Amino acid sequence: IPLDMVGRLHLVEGELNHRLGMKKDEMESFKMAVTLSKDAPTYAGVLSFLGAAKDIESMKEIFHLAYTDSGIEKKWKIYFSMWYLALQKMTGVADDPTPLQVLDMAKGSEWTDTLAAFYAGKLSFAEAKKSAKGNQGTLVELEFFTAFRLYEDGKKPEFTRALEDSLDSGYYSFYEVAMALEFLADMGALK
């Protein structure tokens, strides 16, 4: 079995350990997953799961592994930073400036740079939506991060609706949609 596949099996093992309440085993599995796989989708799987589980301390640890991994592309580090910031907003634990620094450095012409500028409050929703060019996938991501800007503004009903809009897209393979599903389930807001 290729090491990459073994790493992904450890990712699943970590999720199961989390759901079974086995915290120590969970982190061992997640660390093994990212050590063996060393690819963005494995980091994304771990970080999106930890974000949805609202496990800020574990997310911080794995985020920093991804942040310092030179094999992870800039666009993924931007996504990971936005997920981590979203969880910081939700948990009220904002003691790590690293994800904000990543967003400040996102100044290119890629979609992730535009999304980072929007999430950091440097770009309006209308401007970001225009850059999305009607692409449904980018609109789903924009809606997800809009939800967290609403959350930060104390607009909880609008936050819930924006998460529902992400879920209604049917783009279940997107990490943001999977996180929205978990957040809505946790709030008892699933339709």
In DSSP notation, 53-96 reads TT-HHHHHHHHHHHHH-TTS-HHHHHHHHHHHHHHHHHHT----
Q: Count Cβ neighbours within 10 Å for each residue of 129-140 and write b for 16 or more, e otherwise.
A: bebbeeeeebbb
For residues 171 and 178, what is the distance between their CA atoms, to the nearest angstrom? 9
Report whether pLDDT(2) > 90.
no
Query: HSE on the CB side for 24, CA within 13 Å?
Result: 0
Of 109, 110, 60, 118, nearest to 87 (Cα)?
Answer: 60
pLDDT tens-place string over residues 155-177: 999 999 999 988 888 888 899 99
Mean pLDDT of 141-148: 93
What DSSP designation does 97 have? -
d(CA 32, CA 26): 10
SS3 172: coil
Residue 135 above 90 pLDDT? no
The reported pTM is 0.93
pLDDT tens, 30-51?
Answer: 999 999 988 899 999 999 999 9
The string of pLDDT tens digits covering residues 46-76 is 999 999 999 999 999 999 999 999 999 999 9
Average pLDDT taken over every residue of the chain: 92
